[in-house]
Each structure stands twice: as C-alpha cells, then as structure tokens.
C-alpha cells in the first residue's frame, strides 16, 4: 500500500524533508520526499495502512518551525526500491 501526499504551508526552508525522512525511518515506512517548485513538499509513503496513517498524522504536524496549512493525499503505486530517500526538487 502507498499514498502520495502534498504538504502545503511553511514547509520549505525549515528542514521538512529531512524531518520526514527521520520520521519515516523511525516508523519503518518506505518511499521518498522532495520539494516542489511551487513551494510545497511531496512525499510517497509506503507500508501497512496503520503505519501510513501514523506517518500522515506526523506530516500534519511537521517539525517545530514549520506550519502545515493543508495536506492532500492520493493512492499511489508502491516504490520499486526499499527504504526512504530524499529526492531532488521536482521540476
């Protein structure tokens, strides 16, 4: 199971991607995270449904200096590779 999330608000320039990667590692979810040019953060979260829900809940909060105003999610294909990675900004 996998979910793609778009996180809006003050989420760039505050360490959001690195925070997401650490939280993903703590929970044992797979996927990736990256900035998008319009100022949002996009993540693919893969794992069992309960762990994905926990990760999404954490993304709603974000790191202390961030401010999440909106999070949208859509079903997605699970990533081909195991683990969690920080990707370059989406074009």
Dump pLDDT digits (tens) for 37-88: 999 999 999 999 999 999 999 999 999 999 999 999 999 999 988 899 999 9
CB 15 within 8 A of CB 78: no
What is the distance, to the nearest Å, from the Cα of residue 25 to the centroid of all Cα atoms in its chain? 12
Asked if 37 is an active-site residue, the reply is no
Asked if 70 is an active-site residue, the reply is no
The whole-number pLDDT of residue 90 equals: 85
Residue 10 forms beta bridges with which residues? 67
| Domain-wise residue ranges, the chain | 2-78
The whole-number pLDDT of residue 81 equals: 87
Class of CATH domain 2-78? alpha beta
Active-site position among 4, 10, 17, 91:
17
Active-site position among 35, 36, 70, 87:
35
Q: What is the pTM of this model?
A: 0.94
């Amino acid at each position: 199971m996998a979910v793609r999330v778009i996180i809006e608000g003050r989420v760039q320039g505050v360490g959001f991607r690195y925070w997401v990667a650490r939280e993903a590692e703590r929970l044992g979810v797979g996927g990736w995270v990256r900035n998008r040019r319009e100022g949002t953060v996009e993540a693919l979260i893969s794992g069992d449904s309960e762990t994905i829900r926990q990760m999404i809940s954490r993304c709603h909060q974000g790191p202390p200096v961030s401010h999440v105003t909106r999070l949208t999610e859509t079903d997605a294909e699970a990533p081909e590779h195991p683990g969690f990675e920080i990707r370059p900004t989406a074009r």
